[in-house]
Amino acid sequence: MSIRATVILATLLTASSVAAQTRPTAPPLLVSTTWLADHLRDPDVVVIQTSQAAAAQQQIPGARLVPHDALMTMAAGHDLAATSQLEAALERAGVSNTSHVVIYGEPLASGWLFFALDYLGHEKMSMLDGGLDKWTGEGRSVSAVGAAPRPGQFTPRLRPQVKASTETVQNRPVGAVALLDARSMTEYDAGHIPGAQLLTWQNVYADPKLQVFKSQTEVAAMFAAAGASPGKTAITYCQIGLRSSLLYFAARYAGVNASNYVGSWSEWSAKGLPIETQ
């Protein structure tokens, strides 16, 4: 193993270890509709709906809207918005550092919001298993989109290690860090980063229509089969880092240390770096 690869691996593992040690009371990363119904009035729970399209006219009571566009930029390719912009978007939604953020909405927008929160160092966030469709399918109440909430007070504590760079991917220690491609099989077969294993983002769902996740054990087994067992490190990527943000969440849910290569295939191929085809 080269000195550079050794340093990168040590950085990834140390950062993951530190993160684990500083988050002993973090809530579950996936919560059920029953859990949310029981905690909907908890003062620290902030439910956020996010979408790439127009917001739904109905929402879980008390939910706040954070549009996907507020969390990303296309200035130099698809990327997270500037930290100040992310901070402002969350504060407008009433998020503070003590908030337990529960996310629902479009699956990829939800994955991106989870990834953004993790990058900002937020310690308490969960995905809502099944989202709004499961909530309404169970006969639970909904409401119209309400007035803007009282702004929160959010101070980022950046975790840059969860956002992988091209150099990190190039110099990853083979066998110690799994590179996972969240795209379709057709895209993967046409060209992928050398050494990457295919693990499409849709495969994390037991019911893709309702966005109900497979069990933690099942998801962990999927990652292990792709070379990323719990306690190991994975880098996820797709075309622009969006689909891979949901796979990033799934890795975290499975107990896998992870980072998301936001530049992804668009950046890798634009730089003329080596590729593999099937």
85: domain CATH number is: 3.40.250.10
In terms of residue numbers, what domain contains 178? 3-15+160-270
Statement to judge: residues 171 and 77 lie in one domain: no
The residue assigned the tokens 């900002």 is 120
| Lookup: tokens for 47 | 């439910």
Q: Which segments within 165-211 are labelled E, that is strand?
A: 177-181, 197-198, 205-207
pLDDT for 58 equals: 87
pLDDT band at 4 (very low <50, low <70, confident <90, very high): low
CA distance 244 to 181: 7
| Whole-prediction pTM | 0.90
Average pLDDT, the chain: 91
Residue 19 has pLDDT above 60, yes or no: no
Based on the domain organization, do 67 and 40 belong to the same domain?
A: yes
Residues 139 and 216 reside in one and the same domain: no
Asked whether 49 and 63 are in contact (CB, 8 A), the reply is: yes
Over residues 117-170, the pLDDT tens digits come to: 999 999 999 999 999 999 999 999 999 887 789 999 999 999 999 999 999 999
Q: Are residues 164 and 140 in the same domain?
A: no
Is 188 found in the same domain as 104?
no
Q: What is the pLDDT of residue 234?
A: 97
Six-digit token string for 134? 């499961």
Predicted confidence (pLDDT) per residue in 205-249, tens digit: 999 889 999 999 999 999 999 999 877 899 999 999 999 999 999
